[in-house]
Structure 1
Amino acid sequence: MPEAIELDNTQLRLHEITRALNSGMFVHVRRMLAHMAPCDIALLLESSPHKGRSVLWQLVDSDLQGEVLEELSEDVRNGIIARMDPALIAAATEDMDDDDLAEMLRSLPETIYQEVIGSMASQDRERATLALSYPEGSAGALMNTDTVTIRPDVTLDVVLRYLRLKGELPEGTDELYVVDKTNSFLGAVSLATLLTRNPDLSVREVMDEHCESIPVTMDESEVAQLFERRNWISAPVVDESQHVLGRITIDDIVDVIREDAEHSMMSMAGLDDEEDTFAPVVKSTKRRSVWLGVNLITALMAAFVASFFESTLDILPVLAVLNGIVPSMGGVAGSQTLTLVIRGMAVGHINQANQRFLLSKELAIGALNGMLWALLIAGVVALWKWDFTLGCVIAFAMFMNLLAAGIAGASIPLLLKRVNIDPALAGGVILTTVTDIVGIFAFLGTATWFLLP
């Protein structure tokens, strides 16, 4: 209940700022923004049309701009950065986490990137260079270097005194990593253990030697799956020699999971998962036109198959009325399977060992659904048109298309994954093409064979 109240208050505050901005009360808006959390300012910017966004950004306190940039989606952030002076961008990145800094710098055009790097202090430049040295989408690009490491031969009391002298811990710290003199990972000591065990015990006596580490080259999606299965709050990142390089925290993993979910959802519609809702009309039109063009090509392919049966449609016009039923049912059935398989691949449920079983299962489901709906449509058409043969023709076509839809829905994402093509992006188009062509060919081809004199 308190969370719901807080959300309502945030929405009311955002609405109030929007009204004040439209009324030209810029001083009032600046004061309100100064008391808002960076995440709420980011939400306000993402919820504002293009022109209002520019005005809002100018009213955001310069000390908050770096934190706000961290919270923005890539498309919105790039639009704001494009209008900023490189020196201001460099200043805004001073307190950014390493992973957020690398993500932002990667999105900059080369000319602006060089100017921003040149405007940075030497320490920040080194930090940026290190963060950018890891491949995008890897554990290295996701990690932060703000780790606290301790030696195994000291006592817990020494560690506690060290932490008190340090005065603070990095955000999201739930355990300290134990390393040797060469910085090789040995294990971890949780804060709960540190606070509850006898302070005279050594770190070696209480550390968890079986604590898992993450290879710096591991894909971020695999890292997210590990966090989900192990219920981690943080985890150390190591290189090939087991040297501790940094750590990944749960807040970064939440972003990965959200981005993966948005990517799958938006890709199925041919959209960029970071696309700005309020992007300029021409920019949005260009992005969507590409996908519409692809769909037009697939529709023309289905129409080309149908053109082989023009004479059949001329003689039996009733086929034109019924022709859309079979491809439509196949498309829905195939989409169900496709979505299920893509989700299974995303969460790591599908692997080489169970792919054959999955294909067999979907083949069986397609056959059972095919028989069920074939019988139903046969009865409906036979009674509607008083034509038993026509009912059998559409029943056969329905059975064949649902069977093909089940096989295609399961196999297409697996095949696309093997050739490094995103199943969420291309799977729907290929599936629709298959079900349309198989449905039209099965229905009109069978009708031509059995119904024409």
Structure 2
Amino acid sequence: MAEELKAKQLISKINEYTENNNIDMLCTLLDQQRTSRIAEVMELLEGDRNAVILGCLPKEESSEVFEKLDEATRAELYELLNVRQLKTLIYELDPDDAADILSELPPSASEHLLRTMKPDESETIKNLMQYSDDSAGGIMDPLFLSVPKGSTVHETIELLKIQESDEDFYAVYVVDIEGVYLGDVRIRNLFSAEPEQKIEELIEESSLSVSVFYDQEEIKNIFSKNDLIAVPVVDGNNVLVGRITADRVLEVAEEEAAEDIYTIAGTDAEELYDTSIFRAARIRMTWLAPCLIGTGVTAMVLLFFKNSFTEVYTVAAAFAPMIAAISGNAGLQTSAVVICGLATGHMAALNLGQVFMREARIALLIAMFCGLIGGLIYTGLSDVLGNHDPASGMNYVMVSLAFGIAMSAAVMVSTTLGLFLPFLFKKIGIDPAISSGPLVTTANDSISVSIYLFTTLAFLG
């Protein structure tokens, strides 16, 4: 609560100083704040005031703040800052961060900014921008420390001493004459080795590397399973081209979690970075419009059976939402477990058959319990609300039995879809989280209601 109050006070003072054009006081105030706090506050302010804030900060700090902002706030600033100001901000950034920001700009604007940079710097950034944003090449840092095979420990330590970069290096990467990665040596091991010892003799047996084409989710799982701080990145010829550090992986984990939540909810992660309510509404309607069609299909199914068993149709139709809801939720539970397992890598190594045997048995138990309880509820409510004419009593008994069996069948079908669809989507390169989205759950509704009414019709003969 105290932290929140400080943020409100900071916003109040910034508003006061900017309104009164008291730039000196504003600069003094910002000089006392962490860059992370300034970025958090800027995301709550209007764009023109954010431009003033960046102008108050030293070049290095303004670049750091700019990089920490969310995409929506940066998008507002792109409209307010001129080319010279953008160039200054990007020039102070590390190449990987500069590549991320330039990729947010229109191609013509990013190309113009690249032309204003030094050739070697622009070339490095262009090389990073050629990779997909969610690949190892897209998230790697091109700055690393490498020594050629045959170097001595003494030569390597001397190389460390003359490093001008403010980056933290945890290991030295050993390469051959063509730059092919051979392994890494922990820096702490250098100081316990003999000065004339060859560097390749100290290579860690557990050294590993990742390809520039690896998906960032796969990188995240590699870090988690191997307790890594940094990992080298190689190209298709095993040439060392960069490294990925743990702090970047933390950002990746946050991005992946947010994307999955948005997908399951039936929207898009782009909405988080967009200030336009119209674009946000369009993104949501992209998912909701097919759902409207899907619910229309469910309504058509109900109408199709209206004349098939008129005597008990009203009571039977009243319980259709129960079938749809329970089976849909059961399928959602299964898919959530599978999606989480695939995302974290815990189930990815398992055989689909093994996973199926476990989930199928769980689904069978759930289906039996839901079918039994649902049938009892149906019977009880039908006795209270239904027709008590003895001549039609058998119909309601049969419908109750059909309801229980249909509930069990619908739950089994939904849980089976919840199991297989994530694996299928992952196999064909689609985000498995979509299998828990509104489109699939809407399809489950239509399928489960159809099973229920077909079963009821079959029992009534």
Q: Shared fold by TM > 0.5? A: yes
1:55 corresponds in structure 2 to: 49
Q: 1:286 to 1:430 in 2, by over 3 A?
A: closer
Report the alpha carbon displacement of residue 352 of structure 1 after superposing the two structures with TM.
Answer: 7.9
What SS does structure 1 have at the residue aligned with 2:74?
helix
Contact residue 264 and residue 437 of structure 2 kept, 8 A: yes
Is 1:294 aligned with 2:290?
Answer: yes
Aligned partners of 2:294 and 2:443 also within 8 Å: no
Paired residues of 1:172 and 1:249 also in contact (CA < 8 A): no
Q: Answer whether contact 2:47 2:73 (CA < 8 A) is retained.
A: no
Counterpart of 2:269 in 1: which secondary structure? coil
Residues in 1 aligned to 2:201 and 2:347: alpha-carbon distance in whole angstroms: 40
Match of 1:125 in 2: 122
Partner residue of 1:103 out of 100, 104, 118: 100
In structure 2, relative to structure 1, the CA distance for the partners of 1:353 and 1:341 (3 Å cut) is closer
Matched, 1:406 2:400: no
Aligned residue among 386, 391, 398 for 2:400:
391
- The correspondence for 2:39, drawn from 42, 59, 62, is 42
- 2:11 counterpart of 1:14: no
- Count of aligned positions: 441
User: After superposition, where does 1:279-428 map in structure 2 within 5 Å?
Assistant: 279-311=275-307, 315-316=311-312, 317-351=314-348, 354-386=351-383, 387-425=396-434, 427-428=436-437
Q: Which residue of 2 aligns with 1:4?
A: none
Unaligned runs of 5+ in 2: 384-395
* Contact 1:366 1:405 survives alignment (8 Å): no
- 2:450 counterpart (441, 445, 449): 441
| Deviation for aligned residue 1:374 | 0.9
Deviation at 1:22, TM superposition (A): 4.3
Match of 2:386 in 1: none
Report Cα offsets for 1:145-203 as digits up to 9, x if no partner: 2111224434433333332233x555231111122333232222212212334445442
Cα distance in 2 for partners of 1:112, 1:176 equals 37
Instruction: Give the whole-Å Cα distance in 1 for the aligned partners of 2:426 and 2:196.
Output: 54
Q: Which residue of 2 aligns with 1:5?
A: none
Offset at residue 336 of structure 1 (A): 0.6
Structure 2 residue 167 is the aligned partner of structure 1 residue 158: no
Residue in structure 2 matched with residue 149 of structure 1 by the alignment: 146
Paired residue secondary structure (1:421):
coil
One-letter amino acid matched to 1:55: R
Using a 3 Å threshold, how does the CA distance of structure 1 residues 169 and 447 change in structure 2: closer, same or farther?
same
Distance 2:434 2:74 in 1: 24
2:336·2:436 contact (CA, 8 Å) conserved in 1?
no
Q: Distance in 2 between matches of 1:79 and 1:275?
A: 15
Closer, same or farther in 2 for the Cα pair 1:349/1:165, shift >3 Å? closer
How many Å separate the matches in 2 of 1:310 and 1:444?
Answer: 10
Structure 2 distance, partners of 1:135, 1:443, is 46
| Corresponding residue number in structure 2 for 1:73 | 70
Aligned counterparts, 1:263-278, within 5 A: 263-276=259-272
Aligned CA distance change for structure 1 residues 129 and 421 (closer, same or farther; 3 Å):
same
| CA distance in 2 between partners of 1:169 and 1:118 (Å) | 24
In terms of mean alpha carbon deviation, does 149-158 or 246-255 score higher? 149-158
How much does 1:9 deviate?
6.1
Q: 216, 221, 245: which one pairs with 1:220? A: 216
**1:187-266 → structure 2 map (5 Å cutoff):** 187-266=183-262
Residue 117 of structure 1 aligns with an amino acid whose one-letter code is L
1:281 to partner: Cα distance:
2.5
Shift in CA distance, 45/295, structure 1 to aligned 2, threshold 3 Å: farther
Deviations 1:46-79 (A, max 9, x none): 3x16xx2431232222613322232223333233
* C-alpha distance in structure 1 between counterparts of 2:226 and 2:266, whole Å: 33
Structure 1 residue corresponding to 2:86, chosen from 82, 85, 89: 89
Amino acid corresponding to residue 388 of structure 1 in structure 2: V
**Helix, strand or coil: the match of 1:96?**
coil
How far apart, in 1, do the equivalents of 2:338 and 2:446 lie?
Answer: 22
| Residue 3 of structure 1: aligned partner | none
Q: Which runs of 5+ in 1 are unaligned?
A: 1-7
Instruction: Tell me the residue number matched to 2:113.
Output: 116
Paired residue secondary structure (2:318): helix
Amino acid at match of 1:429: P
Mark the CA change 1:95 to 1:447 in structure 2 (over 3 Å): closer, same or farther: same
8 Å CA contact retained: 2:140, 2:244:
yes
CA displacement at 1:333 relative to structure 2: 0.5
> Do the aligned partners of residues 182 and 170 (structure 1) sit closer, same or farther apart at CA in structure 2, a change above 3 Å counting?
farther
Shift of the alpha carbon at 1:435? 2.3
1:232 and 1:250 in contact (8 A); partners too:
yes
SS of corresponding position for 1:99: helix
Contact (CA 8 Å) 1:176, 1:189: kept in 2 or not? yes
Output the TM-score relative to the length of structure 2.
0.87
Identical residues among aligned pairs (%):
25
Superposed displacement of residue 29, structure 1:
4.2
CA RMSD of aligned residues (A): 2.6
Structure 1-normalised TM-score?
0.88
Q: 3-state DSSP class of the match of 1:196?
A: coil
Answer yes or no: is the 8 Å Cα contact 1:331–1:431 preserved in 2: no
Distance 1:275 1:257 in 2: 18
